[in-house]
């Protein structure tokens, strides 16, 4: 299945994903039940992460989600704050070896729950409404993975957080009633505006900038959904955007692909922290 096929569907995009899977009734029920389980796990990780200030293994992160969640909302944008806090809650749980749902990877695990559950809680929507959008998120991820293996070591952060943001954007769009075309273009716009992002974790740990990055790209996904729901579309066809991302991923030098040897990791302070942690 291509994103063009998906966008052309006359049913909601998640339905098209399910049809494409060609599942027998019992397999379909197992899949939906599995997704409900994933949602429950995501919620659990958010709940743990929002109240914990236990430091990660390195001590670089662990209190960000709780701090934001308990801070005054000076901007008076509760959706923004909620989405950011949820996303970081998941990734801080991840950094302290807590249970999370990889979506599609562990390093990008906060984006989909941050955006999807954040928006749902903001609007007071029940979890039942989130199962189909989560199926769509998975379907988008699967299509992307057919072009590029989704890993920072393969294509940089754009492959990980770009994919998670695209998946989340499509899911939020469908949740809010967007049709298949809107959902797929939300994914494309989110991915297009993530292209080039490198994977440069300090010391090689999935903490800095990974935790805050999930907050930023969960918001990014919600922004993209907002554009798509208003009728905006990606000028470049969604499949070509995926190709472009993959192409840029192949151009990235190894230093910028999860080795901890370039970018933020290669700053004087990043190098010092890495040395201290290696001891």
Partner 1 sequence: MSLLDVIGPVMVGPSSSHTAGACRLALLARHTLGTAPVEARFTLHGSFAKTARGHGTDLALVAGALGYAPDDSRIARAFDEAAHLGLDFGFDRADLGDVHPNSVRIDLSAVPGGAVPGGGVPGGTGALRTVRLLGSSLGGGLVKVFAVDDFRLEFSGASPTLLVRHRDTPGVLARVTRVIADDDVNVGTLYCARRRKGGEAMMSVECDRAISQAAADYLLHLSAIGWLRQIPAVMSAASDGAHIASATAEASR
Where on the chain is the footprint of partner 1 (CB under 8 A)? 17, 21, 31, 34-35, 37-38, 41, 56-58, 93-107, 109, 112, 134-135, 137-139, 141-142, 145, 149-151, 153-154, 167, 203-207, 258-260, 277
CA distance linking residue 208 with residue 265, whole number of Å: 8
Helix 238-251 to helix 131-147 angle (10° resolution) is: 50
Nearer to partner 1, 15 or 41 (CB): 41
**Identity of the residue, 141 or 238, whose beta carbon is nearer to partner 1 in the bound complex:** 141
Cβ at position 64, least distance to partner 1 in Å: 15
DSSP annotation of 182: H
CB of 179 to partner 1, least distance (A): 21
Nearer to partner 1, 100 or 242 (CB): 100
Q: Pick the closer one to partner 1 by CB: 232 or 255.
A: 255
Rounded to whole angstroms, the Cα distance separating 138 from 167 reads 7
Distance of alpha carbon 81 from alpha carbon 227, whole angstroms: 20
Minimal CA–CA distance to 113: which of 101, 96, 129, 128? 101
CB of residue 230 to partner 1, shortest distance in Å: 27
- Shortest spacing between CB 235 and partner 1, in angstroms: 27
- How far is it, in rounded angstroms, from Cα 181 to Cα 164? 19
Least distance (Å) between residue 192 CB and partner 1: 20
Which residue, among 52, 130, 150, has the nearest Cα to 97 in the 3D structure? Answer: 52
**Phi–psi pair at 199, nearest 5 degrees:** -105, 105
Closest to partner 1 by CB, 95 vs 176, is 95
């Amino acid at each position: 299945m291509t994103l063009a096929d998906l966008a052309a569907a006359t049913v909601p995009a998640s339905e098209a994903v399910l049809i494409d899977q060609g599942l027998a009734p019992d397999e379909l029920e197992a899949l939906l039940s599995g997704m409900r389980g994933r949602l429950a796990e995501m919620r659990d990780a958010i709940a743990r992460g929002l109240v914990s200030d236990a430091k990660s293994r390195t001590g670089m992160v662990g209190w960000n989600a709780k701090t934001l969640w308990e801070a005054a909302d000076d901007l008076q944008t509760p959706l923004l704050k909620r989405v950011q806090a949820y996303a970081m809650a998941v990734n801080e749980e991840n950094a302290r070896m807590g249970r999370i749902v990889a979506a599609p990877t562990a390093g990008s695990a906060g984006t989909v729950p941050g955006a999807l559950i954040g928006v749902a809680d903001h609007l007071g929507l029940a979890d039942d409404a989130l199962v189909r959008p989560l199926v769509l998120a998975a379907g988008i991820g699967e299509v992307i993975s057919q072009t590029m293996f989704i890993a920072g070591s393969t294509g940089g952060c754009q492959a990980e957080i770009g994919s998670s943001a695209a998946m989340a954007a499509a899911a939020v769009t469908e949740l809010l009633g967007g049709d298949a075309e809107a959902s797929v273009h939300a994914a494309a716009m989110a991915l297009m505006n993530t292209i080039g992002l490198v994977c440069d974790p300090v010391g090689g740990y999935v903490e800095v900038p990974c935790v805050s990055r999930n907050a930023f790209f969960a918001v990014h996904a919600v922004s993209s959904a907002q554009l798509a729901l208003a009728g905006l579309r990606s000028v470049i066809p969604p499949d070509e955007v995926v190709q472009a991302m993959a192409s840029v991923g192949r151009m990235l030098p190894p230093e910028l692909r999860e080795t901890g040897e370039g970018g933020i990791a290669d700053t004087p302070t990043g190098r010092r922290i890495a040395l201290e942690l290696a001891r």
